[in-house]
A and B are shown apart, each in its own frame.
Chain A
Amino acid sequence: MRFKSTQFWLLASLAGLITIHISLVWKSDRPSLMGTSILFWIAITYLIWERRYHLNLESDIFSSFLGFIIILPALIKSASLTSFGGFLDVLPFVFALGLAFIASGYLGLKQYKGELLALLIFGAPKFLPGWLAIYPLTAKLSAFILWYTGFQVTRSGNFIYLPTGSIEVAIGCSGIELIFQMLGLAVIFLLMFPQKLSLKIVVVIVACCIGFIVNGFRVAVMAVIANNQQAFDYWHDGEGSLIFSMIAVIFFGIFCWFFSGFVPKHNTN
């Protein structure tokens, strides 16, 4: 009975933390982050739920306190309702780490290493070092897509010129966010369907490529509509950016579907 109660309060806390994050993202006008957040939270909750009878939910005082100390500043910041910047991206990882400490203690943390890794990848793009910026490559790919589809395109450095307008491919358009979103999904897929190492690498590489290529198309579309400010804003920050992330997710989903159909399930444990 006591064990059941522990489980109940932990689940209620998780639900509360997810609600906080989703509400904040909802208010932050970042449609693409909203889609990813919902997807990741559903996947993580599902993974935890599947293992609910096998999880070791024992923690010591030190770990519980540490977990609380990790969550508390994030809660105070959430309650302030100011503009957040990258805070919303790392919030899921901070919440999950704190709650994992409270639920299973330092020794039990490894039970959640996959989920924590997925959430860490979820928040990583905002904090990547500058040398990882791949936007020159993105500019090349987009220019190539435009050239291949018959546009009169010229590229100089990160600038793409079309007869109708021109764009500069900046860090934000590099596709790193989409690539990491795909990477996080790959981790979740591999948690659900464990594979051997070589196949894991294949899944991860395919996920990154899908993210990079779909973003290349997104930038190409933006170059075409660059002279129409309203359309540009829609595809750049509005719901349009969500559509491309959905396209990437769907492609990856199709790949996973075929992949798990062809490859016999591999049992690691």
Chain B
Amino acid sequence: MVILKTRLPFLIFTFGVILCVTGRVMLLEKSRNPFIFPEALFLPQWQLKASNNLAKPIKHSELINQKHYRYVKHDLPLDIEMRYVNYFDVNKLIDKYTNISANPIVRQQKGIGYYGLLFDKQRAYLSACINPQGNSTFSYQQFKENRRLYDQREKRFLPWLLGEEIENNRCLWAHLSVPLNNSPDTAYKTLENASKSILTSLVSTMPRY
């Protein structure tokens, strides 16, 4: 008899909880915290000429937010396109966001990570994905390997339940470019030197989850 008496209130209570969650799920938008880009990047010897936040184009669903910077050293302009994206395969990102149709050379440097170098139509580019933990990556495999090293999923059931993303596939894609005056090697050297501080200094400012 006790069961009969408590059953109805229990069912109504259960329904109440479900209704609250239904309301929340239907009304609220999924939020993705944007990355707060610094006003200027840490780039010794280079002078900041301009920086602007760009609006998010609708057709790219993986793009969370972006900012472009322009630096100058001895009349040589350096363009830096930073995009915070929910994607990590830099090859595909280059395909999708730029008109470059060259095959990148992937290099690795200790303490920095992997990056891709390529040139096309009078410009040389350096592209890499900055990760919240570990080194920068370029390919799909490098990203997954980096995450495997730093993610400890088993310890995060409670944070997961409360809404932290266990699959953090976001990366801060840095795409640097300089005009190509003579050989690509000189341009690559310039890009590599400039990228060193960018690829390392932003790591600590990224949200981990």
Instruction: Please give the residue numbers on chain A whose beta carbons come within 8 Å of chain B beta carbons, in ascending order.
Output: 2, 5-6, 9-10, 12-13, 16-17, 19-20, 23-24, 27, 29, 59-61, 64, 68, 71-73, 75-83, 85, 102, 229
Contacts and interface: CB of A to CB of B under 8 A. Distances in A.
Contact of B3 (A16, A60, A82): A60
A85 to B, nearest CB: 5
Given A5-B8, A64-B7, A82-B30, A76 B161 contact: yes
B28 A81 contact: yes
Contacts of A20: 18, 21-22, 25
Residue among B29, B96, B161, B164 with max Cβ neighbours from chain A (10 Å): B161
B8 A9 contact: yes
Interface stretch (B9-17, B73-81, B104-112, B113-121): B9-17
B189 interface: no
B89 to A, nearest CB: 12
Contacts of A71: 14, 18
Contacts of A16: 15, 18-19, 21-22
A111 B92 CA distance: 49
B61 interface: yes
Nearest to A61: B3
A9 B15 contact: yes
Contact of B163 (A12, A17, A27, A82): A82
A24 B21 CA distance: 11
A73 B161 CA distance: 7
Contacts of A80: 161-163
Given A2-B8, A17-B18, A19-B26, 15 more contacts: A6-B11, A9-B11, A12-B15, A20-B22, A23-B26, A24-B25, A29-B61, A61-B3, A64-B7, A68-B10, A76-B162, A77-B161, A79-B20, A82-B164, A85-B167
Contacts of A83: 30, 165, 167
The B interface is mostly helix, strand or loop, or mixed, namely helix
B4 interface: yes
Interface residues on B, range: 35 or more
Closest 6 CB pairs of A and B: A80-B163, A16-B18, A9-B11, A75-B21, A23-B25, A13-B15
B30 A2 contact: no
A178 B106 CA distance: 37
B18 A13 contact: yes
Contacts, number: 88
Nearest to A21: B25
13 contacts: A2-B8, A5-B8, A9-B15, A13-B11, A19-B22, A23-B25, A71-B14, A75-B21, A79-B24, A80-B161, A81-B163, A85-B167, A102-B11
B21 A27 contact: no
B25 A79 contact: yes
A78 B25 CA distance: 7
Contacts of A29: 61
Nearest to B140: A170
Given A16-B22, A20-B25, A81 B31 contact: yes
B6 interface: yes
B21 A78 contact: yes
Given A2-B8, A75-B21, A81 B30 contact: yes
A262 B166 CA distance: 50
A64 B167 CA distance: 33
A2 B5 CA distance: 10
Contacts of A2: 4, 8
B68 to A, nearest CB: 23
Nearest to B17: A75
Nearest to B13: A68
A8 B11 CA distance: 10
Nearest to B168: A83
A82 B165 contact: yes
A79 B21 contact: yes
A119 B17 CA distance: 23
Nearest to A65: B10
